[in-house]
């Protein structure tokens, strides 16, 4: 879709030629006007005075012209005068006094140059007026001098990269709802003959990276109608009334191109609840929202204009914006399940040369909770790793390494750790892993490492066997125990005084989980199934959590219940690690030797005391346990040694 009315940008060569031409004309004018600056200075005298000086013998030479006489006195001064036509005896007087005289031609100027000089002021005025008119005419654009109140919506063309529904995978339900909108635009009679009306708006709701903007681009590619795209922040300015003017102008453009689709990305920037905050900025946003509400469903119907908007914060939108008649459909774009992740990986792998061992299903199974953007990033990271390793094909090993990088962060092998710190990190992570193995409700271990990644010195990552859509009480208690496993291991092996700050992220996770169990999920026997806390949208979008009910005694009881839950997890971890201290030494020694262990290797080591590895040194493959007395005292720790979260440590 090309906009034929859009003015074409002038040729750069023509612009340069015009600039240099103007500079040349200006220089020529200056030279012409001041060309006589090199002549000697002369004094203007009256003709009678000139004759007197000739009679006195003071004049040395003269040049007689038709309209001017110039000359030089014997004292070196120059003069000019205007001749008198009736004086026919001037030459006789000059000969009598011995003055040298000659004739002078009339001063002439090129007629074209004379006309140019005379008309230059008018040309300058016309040029300024032409520039001002052009600015006013293109005021609808963002750069126009009069374009403050004009819409910044852009008309999407095929040159921007056409996307169709074939490029959208893993969100079939959302795609089906929007396919119906496209069909309505293509064949409205099919629906209108049964009394159906075209939807006025569709709101795409989903977490970041789930494909909301990609869906909107697919609508543009499939519908074959004009598609305007704009961001919610493009409406809001510091001047009151500018946003409302831009909304009016956007709908005026849409009416001229109806039927069409207008896509507003991040609509929460302009569509938040009215009445929050103070100041002119809030007044401007509310005026913009009011104008948007009127244009979408006011007294004048905008037939043939479908508004598609996207947000990941539907809770902050004004209720008037969400009602039927404005956004008739709220399409939820969810995090994809395992089948959806497999389809999304298939879309992104089309452009990547894959090795025969790559299995999209296996990768999808190991990436729960990944959004479409995360999976695209995973494929890209795998391709970059293969390129750095000078491979022609991207193998499964690259995908595994890329998954570890995305989930756990980049390896920081350049970080120098002392032997004491490595041993404390190994026992910390071994404590997490061993407690996880002994908690039936815990997710299986995917990988454990003591190689620093991201901000953690070590990590135990757990992955669920299948997609989970809710948590159960037993799994929450298991997660509390696993989170405390690292701190308990440090206490058992190194002593109470040598417990490090490495469990800071574990403590934070356990505290947040226990607080949610007590105040939001009703899992406290003493407080009952009531909600005591709720998240609220604060001023300027700052999220806040506040207690919704209960007095001082209730708050005190809430804090005591949270503490009891966390300490209960600590007690469960102590029971496991104290009863299996030999396995704790065995696992920590293996991590010190190999740095990274997979879940299968950890299970094999715990069951048989042996571990089969291709890179294992010669021998029986038995990892010898280390006596607790041989462990040196740990030095000062900095940073976190990792934690235990539902998807990772």
C-beta separation of 597 from 591 below 8 A? yes
The residue behind tokens 């389809």 is 343
Q: Which of 429, 439, 574, 601 is catalytic?
A: 429
Distances (CA, A) of 119 to 116, 398, 481, 622: 5, 74, 91, 101
How far is it, in rounded angstroms, from Cα 320 to Cα 453? 47
- Known catalytic residue at 429: yes
Q: Label residue 98 exposed, middle or buried (CB < 10 Å: 0-12, 13-18, 19+).
A: exposed
Tell me phi and psi for residue 549, to 5 degrees.
-160, 160
For residue 472, say whether it is annotated as part of any ligand binding site.
no
Give the distance, in angstroms, between the CA of residue 366 and the centroid of all CA atoms in the same chain.
28
Residue 208 assigned as binding residue: yes
Q: Please give the DSSP secondary-structure letter assigned to residue 477.
A: H
40 appears as a binding residue in the annotation: no
Phi and psi at 533, nearest 5°, equal -135, 150
Q: Does residue 259 have a cis bond before it (omega within 30 degrees)?
A: yes
Q: Using CA atoms, how far apart are residues 79 and 70, in angstroms rounded to an integer?
A: 6
346 annotated as belonging to a binding site for a ligand? no
Per the structure block, which two tokens stand in for 633?
């005292």
Task: Establish whether 467 is an annotated binding residue.
Answer: no
50-59 long-range contacts (CB < 8 A, ≥24 apart) are 50/79, 50/81, 51/87, 51/90, 51/93, 54/93, 54/94, 54/97, 54/99, 55/93, 55/97, 57/97, 57/98, 59/94, 59/97, 59/99
213 is in an annotated binding site: yes
209 annotated ligand binder: yes
Is residue 288 a known part of a binding site? no
CA distances from 311 to 203, 264, 333, 397, 521 (A): 8, 9, 10, 36, 26
Structure-block tokens of residue 278: 């103070």
428 belongs to an annotated ligand binding site: yes
Q: Report d(CA 319, CA 613) in Å as an integer.
A: 60
Catalytic residues: 429
Residue set of the binding site for ATP: 206-213
Residue set of the binding site for Zn(2+): 428, 432, 506
Residue set of the binding site: 206-213, 428, 432, 506
């Amino acid at each position: 879709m090309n906009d034929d009315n859009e003015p074409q940008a002038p040729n750069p060569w023509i612009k340069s030629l015009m600039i240099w031409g103007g500079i040349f004309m200006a220089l020529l004018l200056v030279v012409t006007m001041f060309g006589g600056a090199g002549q000697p200075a002369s004094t203007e005298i009256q003709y009678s005075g000139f004759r007197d000086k000739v009679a006195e013998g003071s004049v040395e030479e003269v040049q007689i012209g038709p309209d001017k006489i110039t000359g030089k006195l014997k004292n070196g001064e120059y003069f000019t005068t205007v001749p008198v036509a009736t004086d026919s005896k001037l030459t006789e007087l000059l000969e009598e006094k011995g003055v040298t005289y000659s004739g002078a031609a009339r001063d002439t100027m090129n007629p074209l140059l004379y006309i140019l000089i005379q008309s230059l002021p008018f040309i300058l005025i016309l040029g300024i007026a032409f520039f001002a008119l052009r600015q006013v005419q293109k005021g609808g654009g963002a750069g126009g001098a009069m374009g403050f109140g004009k819409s910044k919506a852009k008309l999407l063309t095929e040159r921007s990269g056409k996307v169709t529904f074939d490029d959208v995978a893993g969100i079939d339900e959302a795609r089906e709802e929007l396919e119906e909108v496209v069909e309505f635009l293509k064949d409205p009679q099919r629906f209108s003959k049964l009394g159906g009306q075209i939807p006025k708006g569709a709101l795409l709701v989903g977490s970041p990276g789930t494909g909301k903007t990609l869906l909107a681009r697919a609508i543009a590619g499939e519908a074959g109608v004009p598609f305007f795209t704009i961001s919610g922040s493009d409406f809001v300015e510091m001047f009151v009334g500018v946003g409302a003017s831009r909304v009016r102008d956007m709908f005026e453009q849409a009416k001229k191109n109806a039927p069409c689709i207008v896509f507003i990305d991040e609509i929460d920037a302009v569509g938040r609840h009215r009445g929050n905050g103070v100041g002119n900025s809030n007044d401007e946003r509310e005026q913009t929202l009011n104008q948007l509400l009127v244009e979408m469903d006011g007294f004048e119907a905008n037939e043939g204009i479908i508004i598609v908007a996207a947000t990941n914060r539907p809770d902050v939108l004004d209720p008037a914006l969400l009602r039927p008649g404005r956004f008739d459909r709220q399409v939820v774009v969810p995090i994809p399940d395992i089948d959806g992740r497999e389809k999304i990986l298939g879309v992104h792998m089309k452009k990547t040369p894959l090795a025969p061992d790559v299995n999209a299903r296996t990768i999808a199974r190991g990436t729960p909770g990944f959004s479409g953007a995360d999976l695209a990033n995973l494929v890209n990271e795998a391709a970059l790793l293969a390129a750095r390793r000078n491979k022609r094909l991207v193998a499964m090993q690259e995908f595994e390494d890329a998954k570890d990088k995305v989930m756990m962060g980049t390896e920081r092998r350049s970080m120098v750790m002392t032997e004491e710190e490595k041993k404390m990190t190994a026992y910390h992570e071994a404590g997490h892993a061993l407690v996880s193995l002994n908690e039936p409700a815990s997710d299986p271990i995917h990988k454990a490492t003591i190689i620093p990644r991201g901000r953690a010195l070590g990590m135990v990552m757990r992955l669920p066997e299948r997609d989970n859509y809710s948590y159960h009480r037993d799994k929450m208690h298991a997660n509390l125990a696993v989170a405390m496993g690292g701190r308990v291991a440090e206490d058992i092996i190194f002593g109470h005084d040598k417990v490090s700050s490495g469990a800071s992220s574990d403590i934070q996770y356990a505290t947040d989980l226990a607080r949610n169990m007590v105040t939001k999920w009703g899992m406290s026997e003493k407080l009952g199934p009531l909600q005591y806390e709720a998240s609220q949208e604060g001023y300027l979008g700052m999220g806040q959590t506040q207690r919704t009910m209960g007095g001082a005694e209730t708050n005190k009881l809430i804090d005591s219940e949270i503490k009891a839950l966390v300490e209960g997890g600590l007690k469960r971890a102590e029971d496991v690690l104290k009863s299996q201290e030999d396995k704790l030494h065995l696992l920590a020694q293996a991590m010190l030797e190999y740095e990274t262990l997979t879940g299968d290797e950890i299970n094999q080591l715990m069951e048989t005391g042996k571990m089969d590895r291709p890179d294992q040194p010669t021998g029986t493959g038995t990892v010898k346990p280390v006596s607790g007395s041989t462990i040196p005292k740990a030095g000062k720790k900095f940073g976190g040694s990792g934690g235990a979260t539902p998807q990772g440590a």
